[in-house]
Amino acid sequence: MNVPLKPMTADEFIAWAMTQERGRYELLDGMVVSDMNSERSIHAVVKLNAAFALRLALKAAALPGQAFGDGMAVRITSRIVHEPDAILRLGSPLPDEQVYVSDPVIVVDVLSPGSGPVDTGAKLLNYFTLPSLMHCLVIDPGKRTVLHYRRGTDGQPALTVRDEGVLALHPPGLAIMVADLFQSSWSAVKLVKSRDLN
């Protein structure tokens, strides 16, 4: 794996990243950033749980849309592309060949050792430059907490920290149980409908 050392546009980066056999890459200010660290078991479990929980919440709310696990990129600008651990978007399904999302409503990043300053700093602010984005969930598997950044009335992210109960994602009217994000088995998961919040 040879990470390009010259600046790239988002389109050039996405085309290059599609040719790589393994690894996760993002584009920051035109430069490729690589994260080749192996994931801990808990990190992989929480990422999968987050995507699954978003999918179930979408179904429970009977809203049209899609939930993705990691692998789909979020195009922020022509020089910035991020790859969150889970994404939810609304509307008709993307074409099968699409490799990035430009209209996420919810993005999820699961913290790994050392990623906190990035996930709660510039990356978070980049996500909120997208008009479609309403929520960014930063999950800390070690502390079993969710940093819920919600778009405030001023357009800026407002933070709530949750370690239990129902995580209300309004808009678009979804709800997930915080405990479900840390489950090792999904056999007993209960769908939470947004009407259950009232």
pLDDT given for residue 193 in this prediction? 58
84 alpha-carbon distance from chain centroid: 4
In this predicted structure, the answer to whether residue 67 has a pLDDT above a threshold of 50 is: yes
Place of tokens 């479990």: 45
Q: From CA 16, how far away is CA 26, in angstroms rounded?
A: 11
In this predicted structure, the answer to whether residue 38 has a pLDDT above a threshold of 80 is: no
The pLDDT tens digits for 118-148 are 556 788 999 999 999 999 999 999 999 999 9
In this predicted structure, the answer to whether residue 95 has a pLDDT above a threshold of 90 is: yes
CA dist list (Å): 7 to 10, 22, 33, 77, 80: 10, 21, 11, 14, 11
Sheet holding 106-110, edge to edge: 65-69, 86-90, 106-110, 135-140, 145-151, 157-162
Question: Is the distance from CB of 3 to CB of 32 less than 8 angstroms?
Answer: yes
The closest of 176, 127, 182, 138 to 160, measured between CA atoms, is 138
